[in-house]
Structure 1
Amino acid sequence: MSTIFDRDPSQLEVRVPDVGGLEVRPPDIGGLEVSTKAQIAQGLEAFSGYDGLEVVNNGQDGIDEIKPEGFIEETERNPRRRKLWLILAGVALLLVIAGAVVGGILGSRHSHKPPMETPGASASPEASGKPLPSSNPRPNAVYATSGIGVTGWWTGSSSFTIRLVYQGHDGDLRLMRYHSGDGKWSTLANLTGTNAKLGTPIAASCFNIPFFFFTPVTSSNNFTQVEIFYLNEANEMQEFYFREQDSPSPSAQTFNGSGIMSSKGWKAASGSKIATYWPSVIFQDDSDQMQEAYYANLTWAQSEVGLECQNSSAFAEVPYSVTAGRFGGEKIIYQQDDQKLLVEERNNSTDKLNIGAPTITIPSNAAMGAFTVPRNSDTTDSAMNTYILWQDSTGALQMTWEDDDTGWRTSSTPASLGSPDKGTGISCLTPTLWAVASLLSDYGMARCYYLVDGNIKEVQYDGSNWSVIGNVQLD
């Protein structure tokens, strides 16, 4: 049975042990137990020095300690009183030691409490629930100033497929696929080894190979070739093709590689944009002159168009009509050095271009894209409705269009279309007329693409209103 002498403020208990000395235990303080024992041997008391008293060690280690005379005399005069005094002094000493230990424990606990938040201090991203920005974006994420190339073709009276090209953060070009049947985007190919410069402009067009070369289309000979144009580090025009078989079979064959234009060494201005509608490609040289590469007789030929553009002007190229388009009849849309937006037209590849209006002023180097839709169901040689989407000085998108005989008009678009990121362009889709289904008088493929907050935004025009489809999902 133990006797409790006292409790300190931390509820420390001090007990006289039954055998061998004093033991001090702080009960239930963090699970830590402090125990100190002073052995009493041969009738001599041992204690730690306290209030000027020295520790007595009478012969236990062979060393005799010298006691003060007053201490010896007091011990001899009243040994019982002296013994009680020594016990009380030892207990007091042990209380001091135990208090110091417990105080150290509690102080340590207090010092390891989490720091209090300073009033007015901003919360960390973790505390606010906001994710930390990634310093290493995924390789397939869109490069900040990537160009966008888009093309597609009708596969039936109400079905179609789209191909979209962009540049990833790793510099590779990526080809995306969309089909109206499943309504989903997926990666068709990662085009490595293209040597595209970062932030290159990109344009895309396509054609059905047997249809273009006037050979029979069969189940084994039904390849469509997607043509991709861009610039390398030397600002030379580059061509990359992706050939795929129009077949529902998952094992349909594909071929790809560098096209013959890449070996020509045709130089473009460092800030040149590119536009294409098969078999024509336009770009700008260092003298701000528009250049055209045209595919005929199984090769490419380059010629100067005779149009002077504003430096880094946006371009768009669409067919003049279905019939004229098969002979190089085009509408070329660009910005002059006086910031006027112009449409130049020709009925075939050998005709001289004529101004087809409008002559409206837009901001310097404004983002711009265009598309056309046959005006009538008889698409053989009917007029084309032409739509131009461009960005004004506030960043908002405007539409200039011609869809009847009253001429060109301009109107604003819904705010939901957003504003293209600074330094990026707009790419709009006009399906190829070099396909078995040719062009349809239908707005299902009347779509435009541009970067908003680093995502590829897809919007559609139905002939009367714009709607936002959403962001192209990158897998």
Structure 2
Amino acid sequence: MSTIFDRDASGLEVRLPGIGGLEVRPPDVGGLEVSTKTQIAQGLEAFSGYDGLEVVNNGQNGIGGTKTQDFIEETERKPRRNKLWLILAGVALLLVVVGAVLGSILRSRHSHKAPAKTPGASATPEASGKPPGSSDPPPTAVYATSGIGVTGWWTGSSSFTIRLIYQRHNGDLRLMRYHSGDGKWSALADLTGTRAKLGTPIAASCFNIPFFFFTPVTSSNNFTQVEIFYLNEANEMQEFYFREQDSPSPSAQTFNGSGIMSSKGWKAAGDSKIASYWPSVIFQDDSDQMQEAYYANLTWAQSELGLKCQNNSAFAEVPYSVAAGRFGGEKLIYQQDDQKLRIEERNNSTDKFHVGAPSITIPANAAMGAFTVPRDSDTTDGAMNTYILWQDSTGALQMTWEDDDTGWRTSSTPASLGGPDKGTGISCLTPTLWAVASLLSDYGMARCYYLVDGNIREVQYDGSNWSVIGNVQLY
């Protein structure tokens, strides 16, 4: 049976197991064990289980030095009562040694303890599933390969308004508005439920409803309808309209919804582009044939134009002239399968297209857009100045144009215009001729739009020079 002499604050127990020797145990403190399996006079050993540390002390009274044979013999001749005092002194000394060892161990453990964690701080950042410093794009941001649709109309002899459509990151389409009066962009509508595929091409055109249907324009019947064309996940041509009242009142009425074309199930090639100038829409089928959807007699009709184009060719559609445009007279600009830039023309919707000019080679699937401006303000059936903006193999923008009788020319543009992001296109604005204020011989609306570093860049041509207006503010 063992006897407990004392217990210190750390739970140290000193046990006397009998003749076998003295044991001192601190239970559950780092595995430390101190024992004397021989008599105190013969030596003292201290063992520590922490980090393999071993402390051995064989000196006199457990303090130091080397035991000699004379010391051992003299000790054996002393009376037994002296041994009791020696045992008690040894126990006291042993407690001092054990306390020192325990203190050293506890201090060592404290110094090796892992640093405490502070909420909100960490020595090693935890994985979050996002690259460091990344964040979700703002809800108004443009999807990386979004198409851009643009249309607009003159509202007076020097005033105009523009509508621009792009795709947001969540797939919804967004309609933006610009008016020359304040020179600012603002959000007009977020078009939810359009079911557009991500990265869809987008084209837009517009018309004043009473003007197009030859009915009187009144204060209560003066709606302009913006037509938006795109592809769904099945690569079917889709139509969405946004009808707005031409009124300065903030309570002006608007209507919107899916158009008739959406129910037709007309299939386009998966990488087809789209172009539109009301009432015509151009797209490409799986055989690389150019298809046209034309609105007449209150419905849409589809026909093949007999024109084969480069797979994934860019398209542009502009009026042949102001007068001809009211009867379907168009210019179609595209890239042939031999990579040549091609212009096809017709005087009305029933004519066959015939080759215009130019016939120059551009990189395969190059980004391209075009616009026209009436050459003469005194006649509606005169020639149109036509400008084609396209991207060359270096990424720079080139302009091919015809604005007089000398024919087509090509020149570079200022480096400040930059170039469209890879895999994106160029959309240029030709105002609708289906408006109360007709198409003007003016360059105020001669603008093009394309993505640069994910932003919609707006550039303008004044008849002689290009300039960068800036990025469209997507409020």
TM over 0.5, yes or no? yes
Asked if the contact 2:23–2:36 (Cα under 8 Å) also holds between the matched residues in 1, the reply is no
Partner in structure 2 of residue 7 of structure 1: none
Tell me: CA distance 1:409–1:124, structure 2 relative to 1, closer, same or farther (3 Å). Answer: farther
Which 5+ residue runs of structure 2 have no aligned equivalent?
A: 1-5, 15-21, 26-33, 41-74
1:52 aligns with 2:36: yes
CA distance in structure 1 between the partners assigned to 2:204 and 2:79 by the alignment? 111
Query: Is the contact made by 1:459 and 1:466 (CA closer than 8 Å) also made in structure 2?
Result: yes
**Structure 1 residues 439, 47: CA separation in 2 closer, same or farther (over 3 Å shift)?**
same
Deviation of 1:226 (Å): 0.3
Q: How far off its partner does 1:335 sit?
A: 1.2
SS at match of 1:249: coil
The whole-number CA distance in structure 2 between the counterparts of 1:269 and 1:79 is 106
Q: Does 1:301 align with 2:301?
A: yes
Q: Cα distance, 1:51 vs. partner?
A: 5.9
Q: Unpaired segments of 5 or more residues in structure 1?
A: 1-20, 24-34, 41-45, 57-69, 118-122
* CA displacement at 1:298 relative to structure 2: 2.0
| Per-residue deviation, residues 403-435 of structure 1 (Å, max 9, x unmatched) | 222211111122222222222211111111111
> How far apart are 1:365 and its partner, in Å?
1.6
State the Cα deviation string for residues 44-91 of structure 1 (Å, max 9, x = none): xx99465627999xxxxxxxxxxxxx8997771277676555444432
**Count of matched residue pairs:** 418
CA contact (8 A) 2:290 2:308 kept: yes
Aligned alpha-carbon RMSD (Å): 3.6
Query: 1:363-388: per-residue Cα shift (whole Å, max 9, x none)?
Result: 11211100112223436333222110
For the residues of structure 2 that align with 1:115 and 1:235, how far apart are their CA atoms? 49
Change (3 A) 1:272 1:112: closer
Give yes or no for contact 1:48–1:55 (8 Å, CA) kept in 2.
no
> The residue matched to 2:243 in structure 1 has which SS?
strand
Kindly indicate whether the alpha-carbon contact (under 8 Å) linking 2:150 and 2:429 is maintained by their aligned counterparts in 1.
yes
In the alignment, is the contact (CA less than 8 A) between 2:23 and 2:35 conserved in 1?
Answer: no
> Normalising to structure 2: TM-score of the pair?
0.78
- Is 1:442 the equivalent of 2:442? yes
Hey, what does 2:103 align to over in structure 1? 98
| Matched position secondary structure for 2:36 | coil
For residue 389 of structure 2, what is the aligned residue in structure 1?
389
* Deviating more after overlay: 312-321 vs 292-301: 292-301
Per the alignment, do residues 361 and 86 of structure 1 end up closer, same or farther by CA in structure 2, a change over 3 Å counting? same
Partner residue, 1:149 = 149
Q: Counterparts in 2 of 1:327-346, with a 5 A limit?
A: 327-346=327-346
CA contact (8 A) 1:207 1:224 kept: yes
Partner-residue secondary structure (3-state), 1:226: strand
Report the alpha carbon displacement of residue 96 of structure 1 after superposing the two structures with TM: 1.8
SS in 2 for 1:171: coil
Distance 2:415 2:320 in 1: 31
Alignment deviations for residues 111-142 of structure 1 (CA, whole Å, 9 cap, x no partner): 9999999xxxxx9999xxx95334x5455432
- Say if 1:53 and 1:364 are closer, same or farther in 2 by CA, change over 3 A: same
> 1-side partners of 2:287 and 2:168: how far apart?
30
- CA deviations over 1:215-270 (Å, ceiling 9, x no partner): 22222111000011122333332211110111122211111112222223333233
- What's the counterpart of residue 246 of structure 1? 246
* Aligned residue in 1 for 2:134: 133
Which position in structure 1 is the counterpart of 2:52?
Answer: none
CA distance in 2, matches of 1:82, 1:288: 107
- Displacement of 1:271 in angstroms is 2.5
Counterpart position of 2:30: none
- Partner amino acid for 1:406? T
Q: What CA deviation, in whole Å up to 9, does each residue of 1:136-170 have, x standing for no partner?
A: 54554323322211101122233221111122232
When normalised by structure 1's length, the TM-score is 0.78
Task: Classify the secondary structure of the residue corresponding to 2:323.
Answer: helix
8 Å contact kept, 1:204–1:276: yes
Secondary structure, counterpart of 1:390 in structure 2: strand
- Partner residue in 2 for 1:66: none
8 Å contact kept, 1:36–1:94: no
Partner Cα distance (1:243, 1:314) in 2: 28
Matched residue SS, 2:387: strand
Question: For residues 455-470 of structure 1, what are the structure 2 equivalents within 5 Å?
Answer: 455-470=455-470
Q: How far apart, in 2, do the equivalents of 1:71 and 1:471 lie?
A: 103
How much has 1:289 moved relative to structure 2? 2.3
**1:375 and 2:375 correspond:** yes
Give the 3-state SS of the residue equivalent to 1:151 in structure 2.
strand
Q: Distance in 2 between matches of 1:354 and 1:115?
A: 71
One-letter amino acid of the structure 1 residue matched with residue 334 of structure 2: Y
Contact 1:125-1:131 at 8 Å conserved across structures:
no
Shift of 1:110: 7.8
Secondary structure of the structure 2 residue equivalent to 1:385? strand
1:210 aligns to what SS in structure 2? helix
Output the amino acid matched with 2:345: E
Matches within 5 A, 1:226-237: 226-237=226-237
Aligned to 1:261: 261
| Segment of structure 1 superposing worse, 156-165 or 84-93 | 84-93
Rate the CA distance shift 1:147–1:100 in 2: closer, same or farther, 3 A. Answer: same
Contact 1:125/1:132 (CA < 8 Å) preserved in 2? no
The structural deviation recorded for 1:317 is: 0.6
Contact 2:372 2:386 in 1 (8 A): yes
Superposition deviation, residue 288 in structure 1: 2.4
SS in 2 for 1:103: helix
Residue 59 of structure 2 corresponds to none
Change (3 A) 1:77 1:287: closer
CA contact (8 A) 1:210 1:222 kept: yes
Does structure 1 conserve the Cα–Cα contact (< 8 Å) formed by 2:152 and 2:432? Answer: yes
Equivalent-residue separation in structure 1 for 2:84 and 2:291 (angstroms): 120
Partner of 1:349: 349
Q: 1:90 to 1:380 in 2, by over 3 A?
A: same
Q: Which amino acid aligns with 2:416?
A: S
CA 1:207–1:82 in structure 2 vs 1: closer, same or farther (change >3 Å)?
A: same
1:151–1:432 CA contact under 8 A, matched in 2:
yes
SS in 2 for 1:243: strand
Task: Please tell me whether residue 291 in structure 1 is matched to residue 291 in structure 2.
Answer: yes
Q: Bigger shift: 245-254 or 103-112?
A: 103-112
